[in-house]
């Protein structure tokens, strides 16, 4: 199974759910299936993170689940802080491990450590911190907000780069950035969920070697 777009994978799911080409009046839409697909990709990312915790002692999802965006910054009219809206929903990893922000290459790029994520509950603690050349960021209402301890650091930024562990947006043209074995697994889960919703059952009999016989 080669690398596929979400549309191609959704088409395969629909074809197998309906056991052939569906009619124009089918009750399951492509957008509905891609949301199910994204849910299972997110679940696979979280499982990957906790599998690495068991092996390496750190909670970090495999890099295959990371998508990178260049995000233009806006200024909040109330607080005066810069922010951007999340392009995709991050998976539920603790302590902002699903998100890494780094500056453009002219300011250090991916090797820079100037940006540090904090929880929303820690925002007020930034005021009492010593003046260091760091910019803290936190999440609220689907946006990422920036706080600098050194005045006017963020004034020099019009955009930042965001690497996010995510299943991606509900975009049917996006690529499915998963290896073949995970694509097959996620696809099977989507088919089973759609069939259950339609109350369809698998009527194909098991092969003799997979169908245990009672003792005589």
**Alpha-carbon distances of 144 from 75, 86, 179, rounded to whole Å:** 11, 7, 30
Q: Which tens digits make up the pLDDT trace of 41-74?
A: 888 888 877 776 665 666 777 778 888 999 999 9
**pLDDT for the residue 93:** 80
pTM of the model: 0.73
Cα 31 to Cα 38: distance, rounded to the nearest angstrom: 11
SS3 content of the chain, % helix, strand, coil (to 5): 40, 20, 40
Q: Where are the domains of the chain?
A: 6-198
Average pLDDT value over all residues in the chain: 83
Band of residue 144 on the pLDDT scale cut at 50, 70, 90: very high
Please tell me which residue, 128 or 33, carries the higher pLDDT value.
Answer: 33
Question: What is residue 166's DSSP assignment?
Answer: B
Range in 18-22, 57-61, 103-107, 113-117 with the lowest mean pLDDT: 57-61
**pLDDT for the residue 174:** 83
Question: What is residue 137's DSSP assignment?
Answer: E
Cα 48 to Cα 62: distance, rounded to the nearest angstrom: 6
3-class secondary structure per residue, 76-142? CCCCCCEEEECCCCECCCHHHCCEEEECCHHHCHHHCCCEEECCHHHHHHHHHCCCCCCEEEEEECC
Closest by Cα among 156, 114, 164 to 139: 164
Q: Is the pLDDT of residue 21 over 80?
A: yes
Which runs of E-coded beta strand occur in 159-205? 159-165
Is residue 118 a contact partner of residue 96, using CB atoms and an 8 Å limit? yes
**pLDDT for the residue 191:** 92
Cα 37 to Cα 15: distance, rounded to the nearest angstrom: 15
């Amino acid at each position: 199974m080669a690398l596929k777009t979400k549309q191609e994978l959704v088409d395969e799911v629909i074809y197998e759910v309906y056991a052939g080409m569906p009619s124009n009046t089918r009750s399951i839409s492509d957008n509905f299936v891609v949301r199910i697909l994204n849910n299972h990709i997110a679940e696979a990312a979280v499982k990957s993170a906790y599998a690495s915790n068991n092996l390496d002692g750190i909670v970090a999802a495999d890099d295959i689940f990371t998508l990178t965006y260049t995000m233009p910054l806006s200024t909040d009219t109330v607080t005066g802080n810069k922010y951007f809206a999340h392009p995709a929903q991050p998976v539920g990893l603790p302590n902002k491990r699903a998100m890494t922000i780094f500056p453009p290459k002219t300011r250090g790029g991916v090797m820079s450590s100037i940006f540090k994520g904090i929880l929303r509950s820690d925002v007020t603690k930034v005021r009492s911190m010593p003046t260091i050349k760091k910019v803290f960021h936190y999440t609220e209402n689907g946006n990422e907000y920036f706080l600098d301890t050194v005045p006017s650091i963020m004034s020099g930024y019009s955009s930042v780069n965001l690497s996010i562990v995510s299943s991606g947006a509900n975009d049917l043209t996006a690529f499915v950035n998963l290896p073949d074995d995970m694509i097959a697994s996620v696809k099977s889960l989507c088919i089973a969920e759609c069939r259950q919703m339609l109350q369809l059952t698998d009527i194909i009999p098991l092969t003799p070697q997979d169908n245990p016989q009672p003792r005589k």
